Chain A
Amino acid sequence: AQSVTQLDSHVSVSEGTPVLLRCNYSSSYSPSLFWYVQHPNKGLQLLLKYTSAATLVKGINGFEAEFKKSETSFHLTKPSAHMSDAAEYFCVVSDLGVDSSYKLIFGSGTRLLVRP
């Protein structure tokens, strides 16, 4: 079965400084990986996804993630944090279930705090 581990439950940065949210995956085959963001009282929104076309994936709002097979990692980064980036971030892997069903397996989440 596929799984993801988010290494930090909380990350705090100052506005204008880089952001690093860490994610490791476990997969028996080439994984499909995603990062979703959840702002308070809003639905989950896709930031980016890894499709094996390129190891460095660019997403919305200046975020990007690098797939490293040797390290089984898919860390999310942003060069300069903005106050509006404060939210919960989820690393996600998709999995095949019974009867060819599909499901997303979520990490436990990392809450990003941005200090003024």
Chain B
Amino acid sequence: DTGVSQDPRHKITKRGQNVTFRCDPISEHNRLYWYRQTLGQGPEFLTYFQNEAQLEKSRLLSDRFSAERPKGSFSTLEIQRTEQGDSAMYLCASSRVGGLNTEAFFGQGTRLTVV
């Protein structure tokens, strides 16, 4: 296991710019998740993929957010026209297919700062 890898680790951008984050899950994991964590809060679910299919999107994911997982491997999360409220840690996780007690493995996250 090489673990879940996220790139970049830190991103500072000006308001109104677009940003894209990448997540490489553990290779045999079919499920991939994106979460957002703001200071002092627990991670909040954004979206979920099973293989290449995006099965659920949170209401938190406005039209400015889009996520893809082409070929069921790595995933990207794009934020268009960033706002200061988008400043947060964006976490990616992956897991095997299984029941509700299946463990998810998390990456170290991408910290986004919008100035």
Contact = CB atoms under 8 A, between A and B. Distances in A.
Interface of A: 31-32, 34, 36, 41-46, 49-52, 90, 94-109
9 contacts: A32-B99, A36-B106, A98-B55, A100-B55, A102-B100, A104-B93, A106-B44, A107-B42, A109-B42
B44 to A, nearest CB: 7
B37 to A, nearest CB: 8
Interface of B: 3-4, 31, 33, 35, 40-45, 48, 50, 55-56, 91, 93, 95, 99-109
Contacts of A109: 40-42
Nearest to B109: A43
Contacts, number: 74
A101 B41 contact: no
Contacts of A90: 42-43
A28 B50 CA distance: 24
A102 B31 contact: yes
A99 B3 CA distance: 27
B101 A51 contact: yes
B101 A102 contact: no
Contacts of A51: 101
Contacts of B45: 103-105
Contacts of A104: 33, 35, 43, 45, 93, 104
